[in-house]
Structure 1
């Protein structure tokens, strides 16, 4: 009978069922999306590992080997994955996503990179990659639809660089690195925090139309139904709404997973097909949502007495008891307390215990808020007419108002706790690089074994680039006592006097001079200690990773070489061994050199960083160009933060949508009351302010309770990772401000329907 009332109750019944279905559907969609995210991230990682070059390494050329050069670059802040390929035989492996290897001068690009190259925004990148596009990389070879990647064919690639590898197959067979226990704690709490508001939304949605439903049940009592039957009829109505909600939720999810632009806005590229929740989780959601709808309905009716002539709830309600509500956060604290300092020394956490404690604390917010609202509004009195109308409405029934903001309160409490945890541990994942952006802002380097004249040419070309103020370049190789044992050697760095002054404290210098860098302490490796007049060999089999022949040039360190104290260069590197100007070493020793340039730029010149990268790509396609920064953040930590931002944005969006549906449902139930007030001459502005006050009071109390709970949960999480208690007041202010902003926006959107309901003809009935 309950299911029948839900679908055959005329316009009134369908409206109530539709509102319930929309509310439940929004929650179900978010549940499916959240449960699909781990699988989507796993699929990204799997495709990334399949295209890696870490497995199948080979030392000698063969019919099944392929030379792969790393040519990654950055364009306007976007990372581009580049690989230069040269097959060494007819059975060379083909990268995932390609049907064939590109010919020399050809380029296979991802769809996103093809679009970028064809756009005005990609004009500078087109200069950097002036090759003919011969095809597209299929999805199998990309981590996401916005992945920027290319494969370039070459017939000049050689294996004389550590940035070039020889492989027989693509892939990465090494086990994936496990998450740090603190990051794992962050991820676990993040999922709980994101899913708890969803449960609150679903529990609120299945109670839509409760007052009108109870009056209909009173009519059923009049025709002979007993109390138990009416409760199960009400449960049947909620069950029908939740089943329709499951269908709507599936539709919302299928539409929402196509909106990958939301994830792309946070630098996370996901194929829609990757958002595929596992079958067990889908079955769990499909069973849990209807069961929860029935349970919540029966629980809500436990204090309602439905009699044949009315509902006793319209009288003075019994005061809510607070003892069991306070017991929920107490249990949560009791579960989390044994975890304190468990992660101080990278220890493992009991995930079930952490989840249980977090859930109890957040559920405590939903349990305490109705009692807190009721305790406050019973003591309010007086004021202007809109205030009195709002207070009286809350005094008659504050439960619906408190339930409507429970989702916001839970989301804000969880967000505050996560913000505190993020702030507490971020220093562990943001490391000092030792680089000095004040001395140079970019670095260009390569270990491609080029000649000394080539290093000079590269330095001059970079120095002449628009926006470059200066470029200091130096080249390097190794020296050793014997030609066949480079491990006991030391470094030889060659550069102009200006370049060498960046590496050591040198006063007098002229071309032909040589310097020995002062030792900083005993060398545990037992490497060779250079001394004036020592006979050495330059390039003693160094760089023979794939069979290239060394130069092995004999050389005598000049007897007049002074010892100078070393210094760290702009890129954070400290040098040892011997420094030499070009005129101090034999020309034969400068044919196989690595090089490094420190580049100072004028940041006011538009696209200066991309101009430098274009120059470097033209003179040496395998050069590495990167920006210098004093700190660098762990990529995994940044990925977790990105996932949190995306999840929070989606949760707040759906909470706002559900809150709007809840408010519209409450206005619909009060249509006749509003019509009576209008008929008696109540002004539109009076009712509008009254609705705002009815929302503002529970929202204000909810945010205060959320802030207190969030700080408490945050303190427990900080204690678990061994960090001192610290409150991020700016974070609390921003989170509560966002929550209040969502509620104010929803209230503003509900005003037009309110004004349409404020008509005296709403008193008509049949």
Structure 2
């Protein structure tokens, strides 16, 4: 008989044993299928993520106006368009104002018509928020009638907060009015900025570190019921099967379990895919239809998982001698060797160390070399842990009865005890290394804004091209909101000694004494005072100044050729003779001003069309919703006013996106860790059921047996987490060196991720106690 026919015959026989050998057989197959299925589901989700991200980008590009066709004058196909993004309870809301200037004006994707004046078109998520009790305060801001709900094709995700506001007063005041666009189409093809080498390194590491535990879990799941299977194989040897035949039969059993896992994994993926639309993490969500694996990747998973099941089974049986009268594994196993176990992590380090110190200055990292090195290091945990556990329990003997029972069990089967822990250890080690790398490079992708939220929580930037409301009136309206302690308005304009001005312009800032104190250090101030600012930046090319008594032109001092003829001409103004010199001070938004400071009574009467007007709003943080009430007042006064939340720092978009992706992936892997470990725990308890029942029948206390089972779980877990912390810290140090960062151990990350792993194990152990207590009954010896 040819070799392929022999293999197919023996694999088919193993599959029949797995599915048709009674309750024990299908329960074992079901447990294997569930374990493999959870891993397959996560693999399918991982293969679908690139397509989902691409779909998000494409829908975002389709509604963008960044490079849309524009028009200089109203026409039948023109649309006035302005962005008015909002913030509510730390959530960003994408907002736009629309006004059709003709019957053929373009429609944003997802809309059937342009909203009428005062009408709103809302995304489904924003509509739900406004109708909920959580959105009560937001309803005061967005209180117009709803004309329609934005369709999916106009949203980047189902959880996006988006609205379009119709207007009949929106106008574009000349070519200098950049807040309002006159467009004739939506959409553009974006050229995505490529990630720098360190960010690309982080992307590769994130995928490797998150998918490695999945592969380990699948390899563990296909070996469920190993001891019972080996006894069955010994019986087959007794009726004439040779050693290779029984190995192929065992591989057939694993193949059947993996195929069941593919079916269950597809079902788990379908269920998870149907639920993903209702999940939004950090305001990022995915449409279920977008979570569609690439066919070739799905096919790769379908082929790789069964092939891996067969390979793992044959590899696991390489050192097991199955004879007609039993399995040699039931005797005391030979001591494990260390040399080849150390070889894997050493080779991994050998691949990574040559890239030390490259950072962003020496081109991209070799992705295959990086992936190979990290995989070898993480796989090294799975081969080192059985040796470490064997050495540890081999020296243990004395102790209470529960401890001795646990130690003896671990001495006999340290490999099977370490196997379920491998996945947790790999996941923890990868997470520690990634967290160390993130913490090490965070400073390179986080910049200080110079803003001071303790002085003002919000800076209101007033767009004078579309708002005629006096800035003082707007500040008073904001200050009257409950919870707002102060609203300080400041207005700045450009002045020059001659016309047309070049680079020697002088900034003139107008405000009350309290407002001027935000931008300068004043020893005293009263209405009618004026000041000249001094400071490092006041000596720059664009930081001109003036002396007391100088005559200046204030307003539109540049007089661009494209300016309309009716644009007001600059007015003459004389610097007050009593102007004093004072040092400049950064305002709450981090801006260090130059030029002159004047109080309203001595300020120029005309500041031109485009002065820089802003209001600094200070709120009582202890009061509820003070910030949102202030934003409501701003929006009601003028929707085009920007309420900018002040922050100490801001992160690069690429870095924060990768960190968000890590958060998504880590959450999924943690769920897989817990579920797979629970299934593994049930399988081990099921195999020990008769042993536990026998001990109870002979009078062993149930508390003693419970403690012994807990010791059997705790000892491998503790050793696994210690090994994971050591390997993860070493890998993190190597990665920080590759990113050209000083190596330092991020102890909060190490301890935190180790604690998360221990917490997952503790939760699974508590969940497995009820079935454990049910199995410790004398009637468990009953058989047919």
Per the normalisation by structure 2, the TM-score is 0.93
Secondary structure in 2 aligned to 1:383?
coil
2:636 is matched with which residue: 615, 618, 624?
Answer: 618
Secondary structure, counterpart of 1:473 in structure 2: strand
Corresponding residue for 2:757? 739
Task: Give the conservation status (yes or no) of the 8 Å contact 1:463–1:469.
Answer: yes
Which whole-Å CA distance do the structure 2 matches of 1:240 and 1:669 have between them?
Answer: 20
Q: Which residue of 1 aligns with 2:155?
A: 142
2:588 matches 1:583:
no
In structure 1, the gaps of 5 or more residues are none
Shift of 1:526: 6.3
Give the corresponding residue for 1:416. Answer: 432
Residue 200 to residue 145, structure 1, CA distance change in 2 (3 Å): same
Secondary structure of the residue aligned to 2:317 is helix
Deviates more, 1:541-550 or 1:724-733: 541-550
Find the residue that maps to 1:449 and give its secondary structure.
Answer: coil
Deviation at 1:517, TM superposition (A): 3.1
Aligned equivalent of 1:755, options 764, 768, 773: 773
Q: Secondary structure at the residue paired with 1:316?
A: coil
Q: What residue in structure 2 maps to residue 357 of structure 1? A: 373
- Which residue of the partner structure matches residue 8 of structure 2? none
Is the 1:159–1:548 Cα contact (8 Å) retained in structure 2? no
Q: Secondary structure at the match of 1:303?
A: coil
Structure 1: how far apart are the matches of 2:558 and 2:170?
Answer: 20
| Residue 707 (structure 2) aligns with | 689
Of 611, 614, 626, which aligns to 1:596?
A: 614
**CA–CA distance in 1 between the matches of 2:584 and 2:539?**
15
1:417-437 residue CA offsets vs partner (Å, 9 max, x unmatched):
111112111122222111122
Q: Which residue of 1 aligns with 2:243?
A: 227
1:456-498 Cα deviation digits (max 9, x unpaired): 2111111222122222101233334666667664433222233
> What residue is the counterpart of 1:248 in the other structure?
264
Q: Secondary structure at the match of 2:463?
A: strand
Partners of 1:604 and 1:366 lie apart in 2 by 51
What is the CA–CA distance in structure 2 between the aligned matches of 1:547 and 1:197, rounded to whole Å?
Answer: 66
C-alpha deviation, 1:743, in angstroms: 1.6
Match of 2:730 among 691, 712, 721: 712
- Determine which of 102, 109, 113 is the counterpart of 1:89: 102
Q: Structure 1 residue 551 and structure 2 residue 565: aligned? A: no
Aligned counterpart, 1:388: 404
1:504 to 520, 530, 534: 520
Distance 1:488 1:679, change over 3 A: same
The answer (yes or no) to whether the contact 1:71–1:621 under 8 Å persists in 2 is yes
Q: Deviations over 1:254-288 (max 9, x none)?
A: 11123337852443222222222211211111111
Query: Per-residue deviation at 1:549?
Result: 4.7
Matching of residues 115-130 of structure 1 within 5 Å = 115-130=128-143
Note the C-alpha offset of 1:548: 8.7
1:586 Cα deviation (Å)?
Answer: 4.9
**What is the match of residue 25 of structure 2?**
13
Q: Is the 8 A contact 1:19 1:208 kept in 2?
A: yes
Range that drifts further, 632-641 or 479-488: 479-488
Partner residue in 1 for 2:82: 69
Tell me whether 1:276 sits opposite 2:292 in the alignment. Answer: yes
Q: Distance in 2 between matches of 1:261 and 1:117?
A: 19
Distance 2:543 2:568 in 1: 21
> Measured at CA, do residues 606 and 765 of structure 1 come closer, stay the same or move farther in structure 2, by a change above 3 Å?
closer
The aligned residue for residue 387 of structure 2 is 371
CA contact (8 A) 2:505 2:544 kept: yes
Within 5 Å, give how 1:102-181 maps onto structure 2.
102-160=115-173, 161-181=177-197
- The two structures, once aligned, show a CA RMSD in angstroms of 2.4
Which residue, out of 449, 465, 469, partners 2:465?
449
**Structure 2 stretches of 5 or more lacking a match?**
1-12
CA contact (8 A) 2:64 2:187 kept: yes
Distance 1:751 1:503, change over 3 A: closer
* Residue 230 of structure 1: how far off its partner (Å): 1.1
Q: Does the C-alpha gap of structure 1 residues 261 and 62 become closer, same or farther in structure 2, counting only changes over 3 Å?
A: closer
Cα distance between partner residues in 2 of 1:544 and 1:294:
77
Residue of 734, 744, 747 corresponding to 1:729: 747
For 2:585, what is the secondary structure of its paired residue? coil
Which residue is equivalent to 2:111?
A: 98
SS at structure 1 position matched to 2:39: helix
- Structure 1 residue 524 displacement after superposition: 6.5
The partner residue of 2:324 within 280, 298, 308 is: 308
Q: Residues 413, 260 of structure 1: CA spacing in aligned structure 2 closer, same or farther, 3 A cutoff?
A: same
Distance 1:256 1:192, change over 3 A: same
Distance in 2 (CA, whole Å) between partners of 1:493 and 1:243 is 74
User: What is the aligned counterpart of 2:276 among 251, 260, 270?
Assistant: 260
CA distance in 2 between partners of 1:86 and 1:453 (Å): 21
State which of 528, 532, 536 in structure 1 corresponds to 2:553.
536
Instruction: Please list the CA deviations of residues 358-397 of structure 1 after superposition, one character each: whole Å capped at 9, or x if unmatched.
Output: 0000000001111111122122112111111111111111
Match of 2:10 in 1: none
Counterpart of 1:649 in structure 2 is 667
Kindly state the Cα deviation for residue 60 of structure 1 after the two structures are TM-superposed.
Answer: 1.1
Indicate whether 1:46 and 2:55 are aligned.
no
Q: 2:158·2:278 contact (CA, 8 Å) conserved in 1?
A: no
Structure 2: how far apart are the matches of 1:526 and 1:456?
28
Query: How much does 1:605 deviate?
Result: 1.8
Seen in structure 2, the aligned counterparts of structure 1 residues 213 and 591 have a Cα distance that, compared at 3 Å, is: closer
Q: 1:36 aligns with which of 48, 61, 78?
A: 48
Match 1:296 to one of 296, 312, 326 = 312
CA distance in 2, matches of 1:270, 1:548: 51
Which deviates further from its counterpart, 417-426 or 492-501?
A: 492-501
1:214 equivalent in alignment to 2:230: yes
The answer (yes or no) to whether the contact 1:483–1:552 under 8 Å persists in 2 is: no
Q: TM-score, normalised by structure 1?
A: 0.95
Check the 8 A contact 1:452/1:590 in 2, yes or no: no
Q: Secondary structure at the match of 1:471?
A: strand
Is the alpha carbon distance of 1:523 and 1:202 closer, same or farther for their aligned partners in structure 2, counting shifts above 3 Å? Answer: same
User: Deviation of residue 235 (structure 1)?
Assistant: 0.8
Partner of residue 399 from structure 1, selected from 408, 415, 434: 415
Residue 348 of structure 1 is matched in structure 2 by 364
Per the alignment, in what secondary structure is the counterpart of residue 600 of structure 1? strand
- The answer to which of 328-337 and 432-441 deviates more is 432-441
Find the counterpart in structure 1 of residue 4 from structure 2: none
